[in-house]
Chain A
Amino acid sequence: MIETNDLSKQFHDFWAVEGVTINVQSGQILAFLGQNGAGKTTTIRMLTSLLEPTRGWARVAGYDVLTHGNEVRASVGVLTEQHGLYVRMNALEYLDFFGQVYSLSPQARKARSEYLLDYFGLSYAAKRRIGEYSKGMRQKLALARALIHEPPVLLLDEPTSAMDPESARLVRDEIARLKSSQRSIVICTHNLAEAEALADTVAIIYRGRILMQGSLDELKDNILGSAEYEAQLAEAWTPNGLTLPEGVTMRQLDGTRLRFQVEQPREANPQLVNALSAGHAPVVAFQEVPRTLEQAYLKAMAEAQGGTYVG
């Protein structure tokens, strides 16, 4: 598991990360969202014990990053922003090298390398120089390297960038599988759909500070407000005299569409549907308005920068 408190890093007079407090239990995925330079990579580097925190603390797989750097690094699989591949080696040599670095036995190295190359569809290119690999192949191999020692903690920086849709799907499936095998995973990504699909919790980081964090629903509620429902009407209808249940506000988008913001959908929605029916509203459909993580993220960012989100 990963646990931090007030984790901060200062470079000269610039705070790259300030006051980051997160908790990622085993079997959980945290997605870090933020602009380039927001402090995601610096946070990952502190969690890998590559950078020493200026303030605060972090424990990874039960080890303090400050006092047990080697144990932390042995417990972590890192996919770095750049792939970090040795172009004059082939994939088998590369994985074997990192297997040795992580003290795996020759048999384990061979078995893991073959398994990972097979899983990521790289077996056919196992003996080809990495310099000849495409971007997507390199990304898959880098991910295979991060997994070679089956670490309990994974820190993945842009795990599916530069990948074709099939490969990206493959990687997402693998991440989901790793999550189910009780690993703690942190993903830094700009791919919000991916974060939404994989993450249990999301942290939005802006200029080194966490703006907001929580489960997807919590985040959406906090940023976008309570859930919205839309009533699609068969024909133009004016809601004169419509009595709204408590905690419901309404706005009319056009003559045939009404939107309701509902604080307590479970209690209010049946009353709302009854009210519409009683008012003879020609309702064709009544459904929840999809709220994406992208909307929440963009709104949070716009507000952080002093602007207004136009969704």
Chain B
Amino acid sequence: MLANLKPVWIVAQRELRDQLRDWRVLFPLAVLTTAFPFLMMVMARGVIDFINQYGADLVIDALVPFSVLLIGFFPNTISLVVALETFVGEKERGTIEPLLSSPMKDWQIYLGKLVVGVLTPLIASFLAIAVYLILVSRLDLNMPSAGLVAQLIILTTGHAILMVSGAIVISVQSTSVKAANLLASFIIIPVAFLVQGESVLLFWGNGRTLWVALVGVMVLASLFVRMGIAHFQREYLLGREIDTLNIRWMWVTFWRRFLDGAHSIGEWYRVAVTATLRRLALPTLIMVLVFLAGGWLGYDQVTLNAPNALKDVSSLAELRESVATIPAANGLGEVQISAPFIFMNNIRATALMFLFGMLTFGVLGILVYLLNAGLIGGVLSLFAYFGVSPWLLFSTGILPHGLFELPALILSGAAVLRMAVALVTPQTGRSMGEVFIDQVADWAKVFLGVVIPLLLVASLIETYVTPVILKGVLHW
């Protein structure tokens, strides 16, 4: 194992030496490490003073964790710039070929570059955080707890791995440094959203939710690393020269996979859709298990929290009245629950699952899926709390349309899961673009050929059949 890691260290050493000799890397890192914490303190004071003019009662201590997050984040942005040109920059300078012609394995070269890409800015980030915390202690401000500091440090590490691994993926797939820089927005924008979300959690969340976010960030970061290694191919680095977006090729690749050689709708169902469904067998099984786990989690959480949250509510009728008083629920009663409404709602949910999954290697997509399962479990638990048998409710209020809706949801989730797995699995001789387009085509087959028809039938049943059964059995 150690012998295998030695080449990683050889590459890392060279990269590190190169970075430490480049003033264009060192200068911004030094400024962000030493000057930014002071600047942040001054700005925080200014903001607090400004807001307090208008009658607020804020103290600068409240901004300390947020400031730590930002101070740790900014040196990481340098890592993005460096990592973006790691491979494609070497390709442009012609230095990559001698390295690729060496007997080192792909993953060793990749990891060597990744390690330094992450470590350098991370050390700067930690130094900047340390400088800031020293400032905080000198100014007699409230120090964040050790647990929170640990969370912030892990979060900063996660950001560094996420950005560097993402940037290296772009660097490997790009044909020029210019193209890589243009693609940087695919990292900057999601990470900016992520930091905003984390800031919200810092201000209004609790430690537990922040831990969940941390796990999410780390899972995403490790998936990026895995994907980077999976799609790092010597050939791809040297074989690609063209910089233009080949929409025609993309469309032809998609259409070929989508049709799978079929010439009629019947043949398409028999050949293309069936083959895709067969490929989805294992992911479907996994998603069934995930669905059961999500449902159980939702059921369990509501069972756990309902006695406390609903201690003043004694019946379902009272609950309905109490919900109606919530401002956000105003107008809910006026919504016409029609078949098109339900259909569109479910289409939106499955499409969002795909969209989120596509951008996050399935993580957010599966989270949306889990949420749906959890909601069902939660609703069953809520009714159980008021004495309605969950089995009876499930078989009368969910199962009639669920027979169609749940398979649609599970298949959508399975397609997202398969896409994620395909993206992080080595695919010899195929580019990441080809793999991605194939997966989108597979998803489209399932969505158009199976999910939409199933959801259409489900919406009709939910509108016209389920209410009748509920009325008949539960007398609602």
Distance in Å: Cβ of B8 to nearest Cβ of chain A: 12
Q: Does A209 contact B (CB under 8 A)?
A: no
Can you show 9 pairs from A to B with CB atoms below 8 A apart? A50-B101, A51-B234, A51-B235, A52-B429, A70-B104, A71-B103, A78-B101, A82-B97, A142-B98
* Chain B 399-437 interface 0/1 with A at a Cβ cutoff of 8 Å (1 = within): 000000000000000000000000000000100000000
- CA distance in complex: A145, B93 (Å): 17
Comparing B15-23, B149-157, B336-344, B445-453, the segment that makes contact with chain A is B15-23
Q: Does B105 contact A (CB under 8 A)?
A: yes
Distance in Å: Cβ of A95 to nearest Cβ of chain B: 12
- Chain B residue nearest in CB terms to A51: B235
Task: Evaluate whether A78 and B98 lie within 8 angstroms (CB atoms) in the complex, with A86-B18, A101-B104 already known.
Answer: yes
Main secondary structure of the interface of B (DSSP, over half): helix
**Is B102 a contact of A102 with CB atoms below 8 Å?**
yes
**Is B102 a contact of A50 with CB atoms below 8 Å?**
no
Q: Which of B7, B94, B105, B249 contacts A80 (CB 8 A)?
A: B94
**Is A11 a contact of B98 with CB atoms below 8 Å?**
no
- CA distance in complex: A242, B444 (Å): 86
**Is B18 a contact of A80 with CB atoms below 8 Å?**
no
**Is B102 a contact of A73 with CB atoms below 8 Å?**
yes
Residues of A within 8 A of B (CB-CB), count: 31
Interface centre among B7, B99, B102, B239 (most CB of A within 10 A): B102
Q: Does A74 contact B (CB under 8 A)?
A: yes
Distance in Å: Cβ of B91 to nearest Cβ of chain A: 10
**Is B98 a contact of A145 with CB atoms below 8 Å?**
yes
**Is A84 a contact of B103 with CB atoms below 8 Å?**
no
Q: Does B14 contact A (CB under 8 A)?
A: yes
- Chain A residue nearest in CB terms to B238: A50
- CA distance in complex: A11, B246 (Å): 14
Q: Which residues of B contact A70 (CB under 8 A)?
A: 103-105
Task: Evaluate whether A100 and B10 lie within 8 angstroms (CB atoms) in the complex, with A70-B105, A78-B97 already known.
Answer: yes
Other 12 A-B pairs with CB < 8 A, given A50-B97, A86-B95: A45-B238, A70-B104, A70-B105, A76-B101, A78-B98, A82-B93, A83-B94, A84-B93, A84-B94, A84-B95, A88-B22, A100-B10
* Chain B 306-321 interface 0/1 with A at a Cβ cutoff of 8 Å (1 = within): 0000000000000000
Distance in Å: Cβ of B429 to nearest Cβ of chain A: 7
Q: Which residues of B contact A76 (CB under 8 A)?
A: 101
Q: Does B100 contact A (CB under 8 A)?
A: yes
**Is B429 a contact of A48 with CB atoms below 8 Å?**
no
Interface residues on B, range: 20 to 34
Which positions in B face A, CB cutoff 8 Å?
Answer: 7, 10, 14, 17-18, 21-22, 93-105, 234-235, 238-239, 249, 429
Chain A stretch 125-176: residues in CB contact (< 8 A) with chain B: 142, 145
- CA distance in complex: A36, B240 (Å): 18
Q: Does A273 contact B (CB under 8 A)?
A: no
Q: Which of A48, A80, A82, A86 contacts B14 (CB 8 A)?
A: A86
**Is B10 a contact of A88 with CB atoms below 8 Å?**
no
**Is A11 a contact of B101 with CB atoms below 8 Å?**
no
- Chain B residue nearest in CB terms to A12: B249
Q: Which of B18, B103, B238, B249 contacts A102 (CB 8 A)?
A: B103
**Is B10 a contact of A97 with CB atoms below 8 Å?**
yes
**Is A101 a contact of B429 with CB atoms below 8 Å?**
no
Q: Which residues of A contact B97 (CB under 8 A)?
A: 50, 78, 80, 82, 84
Which positions in A face B, CB cutoff 8 Å?
Answer: 11-12, 45, 48, 50-52, 70-71, 73-74, 76, 78, 80-86, 88-89, 93, 97-98, 100-103, 142, 145
Q: Which residues of A contact B10 (CB under 8 A)?
A: 97, 100-101
Shortest 10 CB-CB distances between A and B: which pairs?
A82-B94, A74-B103, A84-B98, A80-B97, A78-B101, A88-B21, A101-B102, A73-B103, A70-B103, A84-B95
Distance in Å: Cβ of A97 to nearest Cβ of chain B: 5
**Is B95 a contact of A101 with CB atoms below 8 Å?**
no
Q: Which residues of A contact B95 (CB under 8 A)?
A: 84-86
**Is A50 a contact of B100 with CB atoms below 8 Å?**
yes
- CA distance in complex: A70, B100 (Å): 10
- CA distance in complex: A12, B239 (Å): 10
Q: Which residues of B contact A80 (CB under 8 A)?
A: 94, 97-98, 101
Q: Which residues of A contact B7 (CB under 8 A)?
A: 101
**Is A51 a contact of B238 with CB atoms below 8 Å?**
yes
Q: Which residues of B contact A93 (CB under 8 A)?
A: 17
**Is B102 a contact of A89 with CB atoms below 8 Å?**
no
